[in-house]
Structure 1
Amino acid sequence: MFPTSTTIEGTGSYLPRTPVTAAEIDARMGWPTGLSLKRFGLGVRHVADSDETTSYMATRAAERAMEMAGCGPSDIDLILGACGVMEQPIPSTAVLVQDRLGLAQSGVPAFDINATCLSFLQALDVAGMWLETGRARRVLVFSSDIASVGLDWSRPEGAAIFGDGAAAVVLGRGDGAVLAHGFETYSEGRDACVLAAGGTRVNPARGAAPGDDTFQMDGGLAFRVAATRLPPFLAGLLRRAGIAAQQIDCIVPHQASAQALKHTTRALRLRAEQMVDIFARTGNQVAASIPTALDHAVRSGLLRRGQTALLVGTSAGISLGGAVLRF
């Protein structure tokens, strides 16, 4: 079905009001000043206040995306939530955003798609199907995550790299295109990134062990699986798109960590100027990471109309995902 005429009409993002600097992390952990920045490569991340809920942040990002697209909520035919972690189990975050946009009585379909850090890429694929089949003229896709509420600071190698935020896109049919899309899952890495509580297995009714309600990460396992699988995955994705890595104008990767960004650059043999790297200013924003980096690329001029972008990342599972776009 590729290429499709899926066109990004507008992008938007939202950062919470409260910044937390690397120096503040050093003070919290009792580390020498400068150790956090040196160790993790993250200077500042933003942390959501209690009133900055997942749906609130998503709505602010969506409003910015619609402003760029020159449309309003009444022009949206489908709302897709693409968060790593939902605001609540039921109903979906997309329903909450529909309400915040003033569409509570509209009947516009609204539902969530979850692939943890790669939720945005999977929602992008679903949106393209709706657009190609004529079921929708404009689709709103948002990713919004509040990682700060589930961090285990006894394991700072995981906790210190995350930040909160939201991003959104408005999609339609036009001169842009999705040239190729790929997604692969290798459950050999299922224990690398885990948040156990919140489902039907670990909950107040059945009990929870200490740490079940916080994010646990085996960075070594995640990196080994991703590092082995990513190069052939990317080679296949680019081959299906009919384009070489050096022909990509802009690489928009999941801002997983400073180490992961360096590995992606090496794996693709990229030039530094091709890569969108905002990790030092945002941290890993889970599913919001890729669309936030995309919004930065568009608004800063790193990605312009007619150019080609590669969106790529990894997620819990371990899964690999990517899309080649003509913006």
Structure 2
Amino acid sequence: MRFDGLYLAGLGSWLPPATTTAEAVRSGQCSAETARKSEMESVLVAPEGIAPPEMAARAARVALERSGVARGDIAVLLHATLFHQGYDLWSPAAYVQRAAVGGTCPAIEVRQVSNGGMAALDLAASYLLADPARQAALITAADRFDGPDFDRWHSDPGTAYADGGTAMVLSSVGGFARLRSLAVVGGPELEGMHRAGAAFGEVEMSTRQLVDLDAHKRSYVAEAGMSQTLAAILDGQREALKRALSDAELELSDVDRLVLPHFGRRRLVSNYLRHMDVPLERTTWDFDSKIGHLGAGDHIVSLEHLVRTGGLRPGQTCLLMGVGAGFSWSSAVIELIEKPEWAD
């Protein structure tokens, strides 16, 4: 969808200290083989006692302050999540609202896994356009990948999972960057890839086992076939990219920078760069490889990094590309209008 009159007014993040991959290998947390596959330099690991909604609230306060948007002008809060937020049968979005915004606007959790931040941006844009009186939306994303049922290094080999919170303020009034286009495409025929080999039922619900996404994928591909699976994944990705670029009236070669999911290098090259014919240098890999996969928050933090460090200059465009289990794919084109005051 093409957008006219929607802007990024603020970006923010709360990021914990990093644990280097070398440290993780020495301590036995990460195998040497896994480290070689991902080529990640480090991964962010939150200290004990800080839950994802609090990370999101801290990031939200930064984004709101940078945006200059009054808290009373936030028309909706969308909190994107992938993993456990701290409690069952509880609303983490409401916590973020109480801790960072206040007011009576709707606070909604978006469960679109790794594509959650992009899905939240799509929903926020539509929400603002539906009523001219709505001036701004707050998008947050936060996760913490630890506990007995998730191994940040091995539960999804090739991707190292990181802790942290990110936030974005989308405005219909003004901002430092313009949202030119956004497309989200679904492919539900692939939803079994992240559950194959495991049954629904009370036992699965009551007995939390270590997440092993690689085992699910192998089980799914054994039944569906590798070529058919890869073709479906590429078709969805290409369709989202085609729509976003067409609506922004750009070719891929026109885009100055790309923000991709924080996958390991091998997965990043095979899933994106090789068939798109894009060099690694046009992405934010140097930054991403020190962060790890933040779940739904990769795109916000990498865009914040580009803006803050001057990696994206006024007049330049940035393509955000996302993917989430289910499957869903997304692409968005952002144009930087001016350098914000909080940039270096």
TM-score under structure 2 length normalisation: 0.81
Deviation at 1:232, TM superposition (A): 4.6
1:281 and 1:159, CA in 2 relative to 1: closer, same or farther beyond 3 A?
same
Query: Could you tell me which of 86, 106, 109 is aligned with 2:106?
Result: 109
Distance 2:277 2:158 in 1: 30
| 1:62-211 paired onto structure 2 within 5 Å | 62-85=60-83, 87=85, 88-101=87-100, 103=102, 106-132=103-129, 133-149=131-147, 150-152=149-151, 155=154, 158=157, 161-173=160-172, 174=174, 176-194=177-195, 207-208=206-207, 211=209
Map Cα deviations across residues 287-322 of structure 1 (whole Å, 9 max, x no partner). 011211111111111223432221102111122111
- Alignment correspondent of 1:300: 309
- Alignment correspondent of 2:325: 316
Give the percent of matched residue pairs that are identical in Structure 1 and Structure 2.
23
2:254 paired with 1:247: yes
Distance 2:170 2:257 in 1: 19
- Alignment correspondent of 2:3: 3
Deviation at 1:86, TM superposition (A): 5.0
Distance 2:205 2:166 in 1: 35
Map Cα deviations across residues 160-199 of structure 1 (whole Å, 9 max, x no partner). 61111111011112374433222222233323334999xx
- Alignment correspondent of 2:25: 26
1:248 and 1:30, CA in 2 relative to 1: closer, same or farther beyond 3 A?
closer
Q: Which region of structure 1 is more displaced relative to structure 2, 261-270 or 278-287? A: 261-270
Instruction: Kindly indicate whether the alpha-carbon contact (under 8 Å) linking 1:118 and 1:315 is maintained by their aligned counterparts in 2.
Output: yes
Deviation at 1:281, TM superposition (A): 0.6
1:85 and 1:35, CA in 2 relative to 1: closer, same or farther beyond 3 A?
closer
Two-structure CA RMSD over aligned residues (Å): 3.1
1:235 and 1:75, CA in 2 relative to 1: closer, same or farther beyond 3 A?
closer
Distance 1:11 1:21 in 2: 26
Instruction: Kindly indicate whether the alpha-carbon contact (under 8 Å) linking 1:86 and 1:93 is maintained by their aligned counterparts in 2.
Output: no
Q: Structure 2, unaligned stretches of length 5 or more?
A: 337-344
Deviation at 1:286, TM superposition (A): 0.9
Deviation at 1:158, TM superposition (A): 2.8
Distance 1:318 1:50 in 2: 32
TM-score under structure 1 length normalisation: 0.84
2:285 paired with 1:285: no
Distance 1:276 1:76 in 2: 30
Give 3-state SS (helix, strand or coil) of 1:293's partner: helix
Query: Could you tell me which of 40, 52, 59 is aligned with 1:42?
Result: 40
- Alignment correspondent of 2:52: 54
Distance 2:84 2:33 in 1: 33
Instruction: Kindly indicate whether the alpha-carbon contact (under 8 Å) linking 2:260 and 2:299 is maintained by their aligned counterparts in 1.
Output: yes
- Alignment correspondent of 2:342: none
Instruction: Kindly indicate whether the alpha-carbon contact (under 8 Å) linking 1:265 and 1:272 is maintained by their aligned counterparts in 2.
Output: yes
Q: Structure 1, unaligned stretches of length 5 or more?
A: none
Distance 2:326 2:314 in 1: 34
Instruction: Kindly indicate whether the alpha-carbon contact (under 8 Å) linking 1:254 and 1:289 is maintained by their aligned counterparts in 2.
Output: yes
Which AA in structure 1 matches 2:74? I
Deviation at 1:31, TM superposition (A): 7.5
Instruction: Kindly indicate whether the alpha-carbon contact (under 8 Å) linking 2:79 and 2:107 is maintained by their aligned counterparts in 1.
Output: yes
Map Cα deviations across residues 57-114 of structure 1 (whole Å, 9 max, x no partner). 00111122122212453442321111223514433221010111261xx212211122
Distance 1:311 1:109 in 2: 26
Which AA in structure 1 matches 2:7? T
Q: Which region of structure 1 is more displaced relative to structure 2, 163-172 or 215-224? A: 215-224
- Alignment correspondent of 2:245: 238
Distance 2:132 2:84 in 1: 28
